[in-house]
């Protein structure tokens, strides 16, 4: 058994009685109430998911296993010469809550290297799809294609005990994770770099090797590490995390579950917003028609977007009520590495102007930027200008959080998910809406 698996097993054994006790003795204790607004309005704020891997406070932002983003970056071991930890160290930490030693990290790095070869049939699937297919569709299809390899399915069919579900789930998640950066890089180079490919470098960690296979020199290896960690987890209610959790709750394996989660991430209100931010900013530059724009010009272009009924991409959030600390972390990177880059300056001007405009507009509950408002600028600076690809980068990172979560879901025996629906008439009855009022409203 690997050190990671052994550590995780101990944590699972310690945790199981806590969940069992809550279910046995306190199952009827209320965590909150559900309002009509929540039932119709996308279940905002309904407390009906449990995860210990990350927690999102509306005012403070995300904590991974109790640590803020700067604390996480500071605590985890880093490769020589890097400012950011290895993703492998972060995976150990997300799964177990323990900051790993260098030796423990090295073990995960070697394990992932041994599993990272992308099978040839996956490449065949990618190549069989039309070349103008969106990178997120290619990414999701590649993940789904590997479902045939699931250890979880094999062991399930052999009749494994429920208590053991987490073990083959972890095996599958590890194999899937190990391959994701190479799949992403293959899609990128097949579509945008004349179908030329770069073989993996056996000396490099997951993030470092991704930069290498993309063909982008340092410090892009650190960009990759930072980016994947920042995008990994945002508690369980967002579309990609919730979808992955929901699909896995039917005991679908991680290939089915992650592919579904990636499809949710591909929506413009969720992960695709990072691509939207860049395409919108470029249109916006065209509209302004000059590089010496003023804050008034930016303000007018923002109002044009809002007045035409569109959302300002990269701004607003369903939970957060302040600037997303993932935005801040990336902004700090930009201030250090690309302070004079014109696109960064424009994004900074939008940051200055947009919150006030959104407040004046009066609709968005949160006028502050989210993670997607800042991420494309960094990619663009390092030559990754094909913004259709940006959500794949988000997806590679997001896989870390959602796969850690479904491993724990199986460890704690979370059941198949099945909330209850009601009819509109039932809501009207609860609200005390009379038939006379309804008849009046219909006129
Ligand atoms: N620009 C304009 N209007 C906005 C807005 C924005 N950035 N954010 C919210 N609004 C509007 C909503 O469309 C909604 O309008 P209607 O009442 O007409 O339907 C109203 O404000 C209330 O919305 P909300 O409660 O503040 O926000 P939601 O929880 O419904 O939605 C989100 C959250 C992120 C989908 C929304 O803020 C949005 O569309 N933002 C732009 C897209 C974006 O950046 N998405 C990425 C989020 C992070 C991620 O998942 O990657």
Tokens at residue 201, please?
Answer: 């470098």
Distance 371 CA to ligand 1 centre (A): 13
The pick from 46, 244, 305, 311 for probing ligand 1's pocket by mutation, whose C-beta has the most ligand atoms within 8 angstroms, reads: 311
Average pLDDT over residues 262-287: 91
Phi, psi of 85 (to 5 degrees): -70, 165
pLDDT tens column, 95-108:
999 999 999 999 99
Is the CB of 403 within 6 Å of ligand 1?
no
pLDDT tens column, 34-65:
999 999 999 999 999 999 999 999 999 999 99
Average pLDDT over residues 231-241: 97
Q: How many CB atoms lie within 10 A of CB 320?
A: 25
Residue among 55, 81, 43, 49 nearest 414 (CA): 49
Q: Is 388 an annotated catalytic residue?
A: no
Residue nearest to ligand 1 atom 11, measured at CA: 364
Q: Please state, in angstroms and rounded to a whole number, the distance separating the CA atoms of residues 240 and 432.
A: 36
Average pLDDT over residues 265-277: 94
Tokens at residue 293, please?
Answer: 């724009």
Is the CB of 207 within 6 Å of ligand 1?
no
- Is the pLDDT at 199 greater than 90? The verdict is yes
Q: Is 234 an annotated catalytic residue?
A: no
Q: What angle do CA 413, 101, 54 make, to 5 degrees?
A: 40
- pLDDT grade, residue 441 (50/70/90)? confident
- Ranges of beta strands (E only) in 27-93 are 54-57, 61-64
Distance 305 CA to ligand 1 centre (A): 14
Average pLDDT over residues 379-386: 97
DSSP 67: B
- Is the pLDDT at 291 greater than 80? The verdict is no
- Is the pLDDT at 205 greater than 90? The verdict is yes
- pLDDT grade, residue 438 (50/70/90)? confident
Distance 364 CA to ligand 1 centre (A): 6
Q: What angle do CA 183, 189, 192 make, to 5 degrees?
A: 130
pLDDT at 389: 98
Three-class SS of residue 402? helix
Q: How far is CA 72 from the centre of its chain?
A: 17
Three-class SS of residue 434? coil
Where does residue 169 rank: exposed (0-12), middle (13-18), buried (19+ CB within 10 A)? buried
CB 326 within 8 A of CB 61: yes
Question: For ligand 1, what atom is nearest to the CA of residue 234?
Answer: 50
Residue nearest to ligand 1 atom 36, measured at CA: 316
Question: For ligand 1, what atom is nearest to the CA of residue 270?
Answer: 50
Which domains occur in the chain, in start order? 3-47+419-442 (no CATH), 54-267+395-411 (1.10.580.10), 273-381 (1.10.230.10)
Q: Please state, in angstroms and rounded to a whole number, the distance separating the CA atoms of residues 438 and 19.
A: 45
Active-site annotation holder among 111, 222, 372, 409: 372
CB 274 within 8 A of CB 327: no
Average pLDDT over residues 116-137: 98
Distance 365 CA to ligand 1 centre (A): 8
Is the CB of 225 within 6 Å of ligand 1?
no
Where does residue 335 rank: exposed (0-12), middle (13-18), buried (19+ CB within 10 A)? exposed
CB 408 within 8 A of CB 53: yes
CB 214 within 8 A of CB 75: no
> What percent of the chain is predicted at pLDDT more than 90?
94
Is the CB of 270 within 6 Å of ligand 1?
yes
* Sign of the alpha-carbon dihedral angle for 152, 156, 157, 161: positive
- Is the pLDDT at 436 greater than 90? The verdict is no
Question: For ligand 1, what atom is nearest to the CA of residue 372?
Answer: 51
Average pLDDT over residues 379-398: 97
This prediction has a pTM of 0.96
Is the CB of 312 within 6 Å of ligand 1?
yes
Residue nearest to ligand 1 atom 16, measured at CA: 363
Residue among 73, 124, 98, 80 nearest 11 (CA): 98
Residue with token string 């391959």: 179
Residues contacting residue 378 through CB under 8 Å, at least 6 positions apart? 223, 227, 330, 333, 334, 338
- Is the pLDDT at 290 greater than 80? The verdict is no
- Is the pLDDT at 293 greater than 90? The verdict is no
- Is the pLDDT at 287 greater than 90? The verdict is no
Average pLDDT over residues 139-157: 98
Q: Is 134 an annotated catalytic residue?
A: no
The pick from 43, 315, 351, 364 for probing ligand 1's pocket by mutation, whose C-beta has the most ligand atoms within 8 angstroms, reads: 364
Active-site annotation holder among 231, 234, 245, 317: 317
Q: Please state, in angstroms and rounded to a whole number, the distance separating the CA atoms of residues 72 and 99.
A: 9
pLDDT at 380: 96
- pLDDT grade, residue 406 (50/70/90)? very high
- Is the pLDDT at 392 greater than 90? The verdict is yes
pLDDT tens column, 315-334:
999 999 999 999 999 999 99
pLDDT at 440: 80
User: What count of residues does the chain have?
Assistant: 443
441's enclosing H/E stretch is helix 435-442
pLDDT tens column, 206-221:
999 999 999 999 999 9
Residues contacting residue 442 through CB under 8 Å, at least 6 positions apart? none
Distance 124 CA to ligand 1 centre (A): 38
- Mean residue pLDDT of the chain comes to 96
pLDDT tens column, 61-87:
999 999 999 999 999 999 999 999 999
Active-site annotation holder among 231, 270, 324, 409: 270
Is the CB of 51 within 6 Å of ligand 1?
no
Q: What DSSP letter does each residue of 285-344 carry, written as one string?
A: HHHHT-SS--HHHHHHHHHHHHHTT---TTB--SS--S--HHHHHHHHHHHHH-TT-HHH
pLDDT tens column, 337-376:
999 999 999 999 999 999 999 999 999 999 999 999 999 9
CB 84 within 8 A of CB 73: yes
Torsion of Cα atoms, 160 then 164 then 170 then 175, to 10° = -30
Is the CB of 313 within 6 Å of ligand 1?
yes
Tokens at residue 121, please?
Answer: 């049939």
- Is the pLDDT at 442 greater than 80? The verdict is no
Is the CB of 363 within 6 Å of ligand 1?
yes
Is the CB of 365 within 6 Å of ligand 1?
yes
CB 350 within 8 A of CB 277: no
Q: Please state, in angstroms and rounded to a whole number, the distance separating the CA atoms of residues 300 and 303.
A: 5
Q: Please state, in angstroms and rounded to a whole number, the distance separating the CA atoms of residues 196 and 202.
A: 19
């Amino acid at each position: 058994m690997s050190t990671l698996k052994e550590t995780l097993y101990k944590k699972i054994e310690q945790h199981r009685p806590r969940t069992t006790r809550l279910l046995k003795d306190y199952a009827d204790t209320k965590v909150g109430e559900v309002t009509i607004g929540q039932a119709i309005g996308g279940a905002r704020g309904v407390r009906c998911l449990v995860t210990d891997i990350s927690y999102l406070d509306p005012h403070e932002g995300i904590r991974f296993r109790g640590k803020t983003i700067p604390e996480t970056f500071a605590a985890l071991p880093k490769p020589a010469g890097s400012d950011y930890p290895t993703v492998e160290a972060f995976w150990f930490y997300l799964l177990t809550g323990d900051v790993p030693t260098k030796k423990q990290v090295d073990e995960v790095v070697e394990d992932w290297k041994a599993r990272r070869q992308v099978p040839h049939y996956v490449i065949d699937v990618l190549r069989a799809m039309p070349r103008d297919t969106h990178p997120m569709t290619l990414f999701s299809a590649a993940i789904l294609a590997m479902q045939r390899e699931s250890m979880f399915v094999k062991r399930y069919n052999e009749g494994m005990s429920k208590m053991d579900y987490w073990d083959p789930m972890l095996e599958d998640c590890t194999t899937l994770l190990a391959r994701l950066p190479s799949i992403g890089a293959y899609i990128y180079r097949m579509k945008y770099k004349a179908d030329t490919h770069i073989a993996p470098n056996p000396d490099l960690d997951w993030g470092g090797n991704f930069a290498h296979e993309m063909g982008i020199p340092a410090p892009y290896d650190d960009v990759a590490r930072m980016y994947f960690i920042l995008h990994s987890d945002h508690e369980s209610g967002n579309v990609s995390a919730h979808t992955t959790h929901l699909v896995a709750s039917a005991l679908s394996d991680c290939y089915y579950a992650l592919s579904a989660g990636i499809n949710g991430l591909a929506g413009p209100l969720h992960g695709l917003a990072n691509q939207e931010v860049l395409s919108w900013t470029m249109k916006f530059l065209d509209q302004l028609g000059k590089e010496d724009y003023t804050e008034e010009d930016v303000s007018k272009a923002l109002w044009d977007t809002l007045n035409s009924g569109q959302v300002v991409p990269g701004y607003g959030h369903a939970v957060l009520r302040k600037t997303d600390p993932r935005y801040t972390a990336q902004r700090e990177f930009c201030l250090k590495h690309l302070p004079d880059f014109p696109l960064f300056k424009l994004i900074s001007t939008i940051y200055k102007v947009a919150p006030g405009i959104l407040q004046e507009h009066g609709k968005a509950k949160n006028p502050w930027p989210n993670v997607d408002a800042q991420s494309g600028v960094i990619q663009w600076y390092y030559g990754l200008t094909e913004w259709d690809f940006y959500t794949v980068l988000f997806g590679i990172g997001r896989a870390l959080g959602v796969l850690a979560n479904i491993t724990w879901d199986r460890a704690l025996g979370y059941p198949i998910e099945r909330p209850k629906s009601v009819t509109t008439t039932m809501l009207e009855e609860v609200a005390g809406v009379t038939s006379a009022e309804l008849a009046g409203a219909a006129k």
